[in-house]
Amino acid sequence: MTILFASDLDRTLIYSKKSRGHEISEHDLAIVEWRENNPAAFMTKEGLEIFKELSSSIEFLPVTTRTNKQYERLFGLYNPQEKPTYSIVSNGAVILENGRPIPEWSDKVKEQLEADCTSIPHVLSQIEPYIQRGSILNSLQAENWFAYMIIDEGRFTVEDFEDLSQLFFKQGFTLSKQGRKLYVMPNCINKSLALEFVTDRLEAEIVIAAGDSLLDLDMVLGADYGFIPQHGEVILNNRALPSHVQITDHTGVLAGEEIIKKVSEICYNMYE
């Protein structure tokens, strides 16, 4: 039986210094990413150990909004030679098979972007007033797929988020705020469609999915078992969730460990 564990990475399994919380000592943390010689992302040592053990009984599928280049910085996540066969990066615009993008998948996404008129220039012209006001500090692009912004958290209000959400919703985008980053994501670039593709390829019978943000919600809802960290954007939005979706008891990096432990339990019970 093939069990697929599809998980978002940042703020679900791995945590920055800012998002990891204060309930755990430095000593109990493992570094999974280095950026310019500085540790940038962490898991608990215990969580990482169980995670690595899991790879013998489960197909792990990272499903991240990171681009391939940003994803490749996660040196500490896998044992050498144990990288997953598939990885979903750029929020589902790119599926990697043994480290190489599957061209027919990305071509299909590109065609859809053009058909939906959900291109980056279209987004940038509309956020200009927010940049002038100083609530959006900078806009960036993820390899021509989508735009994301760095916001001034003190100036960017809940109303700003709601106004922009409504404006872009009508045009076929989903907005997601993750710390200082604001994503304006075309609906045709989504994690759950890419997950469906990989589920079929692997002929997986059971899908477990985890994620913290609004960009993860469809994937988590569509899985057989879903996990959302308590600090997740989805929880803050007070959405009603079906019974197959569990919210963690912990927040921060400990929520990541909790998810890994629960996935490990599910696996154990399945194979028993």
Binding site for Mg ion (CB under 5 A): 8, 10-11, 212-213
* Cβ nearer to Mg ion, comparing 57 with 222: 222
* Cβ nearer to Mg ion, comparing 3 with 63: 63
Distant-in-sequence, close-in-space partners of 94: CB < 8 Å, separation ≥ 6: 67, 68, 88, 101, 105, 106, 145
Distant-in-sequence, close-in-space partners of 89: CB < 8 Å, separation ≥ 6: 62, 64, 66, 67, 68, 70, 71, 95, 96
* Cβ nearer to Mg ion, comparing 164 with 214: 214
* Cβ nearer to Mg ion, comparing 80 with 245: 245
* Cβ nearer to Mg ion, comparing 59 with 216: 216
Amino acid code (one letter) for 254: L
Residue whose C-beta lies closest to Mg ion: 11
As measured in angstroms, the least distance from the Cβ of 232 to Mg ion is: 8
As measured in angstroms, the least distance from the Cβ of 11 to Mg ion is: 4
Contact 235, 180 (CB under 8 A): no
Q: Which residues of 145-175 are buried (b: 16+ CB within 10 A; e: fewer)?
A: bbbbbebeeeebeeebbeebbeebeeebbbb
Task: Report the run of H or E that residue 101 belongs to, with start and end.
Answer: strand 100-101
Amino acid code (one letter) for 116: D
Distant-in-sequence, close-in-space partners of 212: CB < 8 Å, separation ≥ 6: 8, 11, 12, 178, 228, 229, 231, 232, 233, 234
* Cβ nearer to Mg ion, comparing 59 with 212: 212
As measured in angstroms, the least distance from the Cβ of 233 to Mg ion is: 8
As measured in angstroms, the least distance from the Cβ of 134 to Mg ion is: 26
As measured in angstroms, the least distance from the Cβ of 212 to Mg ion is: 4
